[in-house]
Structure 1
Amino acid sequence: MTLALAPDLDLTGAADRLAATGRGRVAGLLGEGAGVLHDALTGPDMVWNRAIQNPYNADVPVAVFEAEPLTEQARLYAMAHEEATEGFQFIFDRIKLGQARAMGLPLPPVLFELHALFNADPFLDFARGLTGDDRIAYVDAQSTRYLPGHFLNGHTDAHEDAGRLYAYVLNLSPRWRAEWGGLLMFLDGEGAVTETFTPSFGTLNLFKVPQDHAVSMVAPFAGAPRYSITGWWRTRAPGA
C-alpha cells in the first residue's frame, strides 16, 4: 500500500481552531494507512531505542538496556524518577526516521515511505494550508512507543535555531482509553492543565511551538503500548 493523505479531509474546523488556540486536530489523516503503520510499529522487524533524558542526548537500544541486570535497570529508572520530580525528564522508546535512514537501519519500509510523504510537495502544501504558514519547508519524524511507566514531563519544544514552527503527533494506537494515560496535556503558566488530547487512532494532533505541554504516564494496566509518529514542521531540515 502506498501512503497518501486521505481524500476529503475536513480541514476548515481544524484550521480555525489552530488559528484561535494554537492547537488543532485532523481525524483520519492517512485513512487506512494508519493501520498499515500500526502493523509496522508492532511487527517483528521493528527495533526500538530507549530514550531517557541525559547530558549526552544518547538513546540506548532496548535490547541492550533490557540485557542489563534488573538492579541496574532499576537504578537508572530511579535516577530518572528523582530528576522528574522537580525537573524535565522522560522515558519512552523511539526511532528517529531520518537518522535511521542515514544509518541504513533495517526498519519496515513503510516508515521511510511516511518520512518521504511528509516531505513531498503535496503534504507540505497541506501543512502550509492548514496553518497559513508558508515557512514550513521540512517535516522530521520519529516513531515512538510508550510502555507502562513511560512519560514525558512538561516542556515547550522551544529549541534555539532548530526552526521548529509546529509540533505534531500522529496517533497510531487503536481503541485507546483515557484511563490508560499517555494523554497530551497542555499547561498554563502555573502548571494547570488547560486542555487534553486523547490519542485517538489515526488522528493528527498539532500545536504551535513554543507551548507548554506534557505526556502523562502510561498506566500499568494499559491494554497496549501507546504508538505514534511525532516531530516538528520546520523552516528547514536539521543541520541545514
Structure 2
Amino acid sequence: MSLSLAAGLDLAAARARLAETGRVRVEGVLDAGATILAEAVAHPDMVWNRAIRNPYNADVPVAVFESEPIEEQARLVSLAHEEATEGFQFIFDRLRLGQARGMGLPIPKALYELHALFNGEDYLNFARDLTGDDRIAYVDAQATRYLPGHFLNSHTDEHEGAGRLYAYVLNLTPRWRAEWGGLLMFLDDDGAVSETFTPAFGTLNVFKVPQDHAVSMVAPFAGGPRHSITGWWRVNPPEAGQPPT
C-alpha cells in the first residue's frame, strides 16, 4: 500500500484553532499510512543517528555511539546534562529523510515515499489550506526516536534563513501514556507550561514558528520508544548545491 493523504478531511475547526492559538492537532491525516510508517520506523533495518547538541552540529550513528565504552557514553551524556540545566540541549535519535534519500540509504521504502508525499502538491495544498499561508513550498522531515532519558529543551524553532513557517510532529507510537514523558509542551513568557500535547497515534501536531516549546524527558519505565516524524513547513527548498533535508 502506498502512502496518501486521507480523503475528505474537514479542516474547518482545525483551521480556526490554529489561527486562534498558533497550534493544533489533526487526526487521521494519513489514515492507514500511520500504521505503515510506525512499522517502518520500528523495523530492524532502520538507521538511527544519536543527536546531542554540539559545536559541529553533527550527529553520530547510534551503532558508533554505543560501541564506545560505557564510561565514555556516560561522560558525554553527563556533559549534555550539565549544559541542559540552564541552556539549550537535547538527546534523541533521528534520521533526516531527505539526506537519507539523497544518499540512497537502505531504509524502509515507506520513509522515502513519505518525503515524496510531503512535497507533492496534494500535501502542500493541505498545509496551505490548514494554515491559510500560500507561502508554504517545501516540507523537510526527520524520523525521530526518543528512548528513556531522551529529551529536548525549550526552544522556538526560529532559524534565520531556513524559511520555517510552521513546525509539525506526526506521532507514530501506537500506545503512549502521559506519565511516560515525551510530552510536547508549549511554554508562556514566564516559562510555565501553557498547553501539552500527549503523543497520540496518527495525529499531526502543527504549530506556528517561532513558539517556545520542549519535549519532556522520557521516563526509564516507558513502555517503548516514542516515534514520530518531525520537521517544518517552509518557504523555500534547500538552496542549490545543498543536500535535501
TM-score w.r.t. length of structure 2 = 0.97
Q: Which runs of structure 2 are paired with 1:31-110 in the superposition (5 Å)?
A: 31-110=31-110
Alignment partner, residue 184 of structure 1? 184
Paired amino acid for 1:142? Q
How far is 1:8 from its partner?
2.3
How far is 1:28 from its partner?
1.0
- 2:212 and 2:238 mapped to 1: Cα distance? 22
Alignment partner, residue 29 of structure 2? 29
Q: CA-atom RMSD, angstroms?
A: 0.7
- Secondary structure of the residue aligned to 1:231 is strand
Alignment partner, residue 214 of structure 1? 214
Alignment partner, residue 141 of structure 2? 141
Which string of whole-angstrom CA distances, capped at 9 and with x for unpartnered residues, describes residues 145-170 of structure 1? Answer: 00000000000000001000000000
How far is 1:210 from its partner?
0.2
Alignment partner, residue 162 of structure 1? 162
Q: Structure 2 stretches of 5 or more lacking a match?
A: 241-245
* Percent identity between the two aligned chains: 76
Which string of whole-angstrom CA distances, capped at 9 and with x for unpartnered residues, describes residues 162-213 of structure 1? Answer: 0000000000001111111000000011110000001100000000000000
- 2:110 and 2:11 mapped to 1: Cα distance? 25
How far is 1:128 from its partner?
0.3
Q: Does 1:204 align with 2:212?
A: no
Paired amino acid for 1:60? V
- 2:174 and 2:20 mapped to 1: Cα distance? 29
TM-score w.r.t. length of structure 1 = 0.99
Q: Structure 1 stretches of 5 or more lacking a match?
A: none
Over 2 Å off, 4+ runs = none
How far is 1:10 from its partner?
2.6
Which string of whole-angstrom CA distances, capped at 9 and with x for unpartnered residues, describes residues 96-127 of structure 1? Answer: 00111111211111101000000000100110
Number of aligned positions between the proteins: 240
Paired amino acid for 2:145? R
Alignment partner, residue 230 of structure 2? 230
Which string of whole-angstrom CA distances, capped at 9 and with x for unpartnered residues, describes residues 49-87 of structure 1? Answer: 000000000000000000000000000000000000000
Which string of whole-angstrom CA distances, capped at 9 and with x for unpartnered residues, describes residues 24-63 of structure 1? Answer: 1110110111011000111111010000000000000000
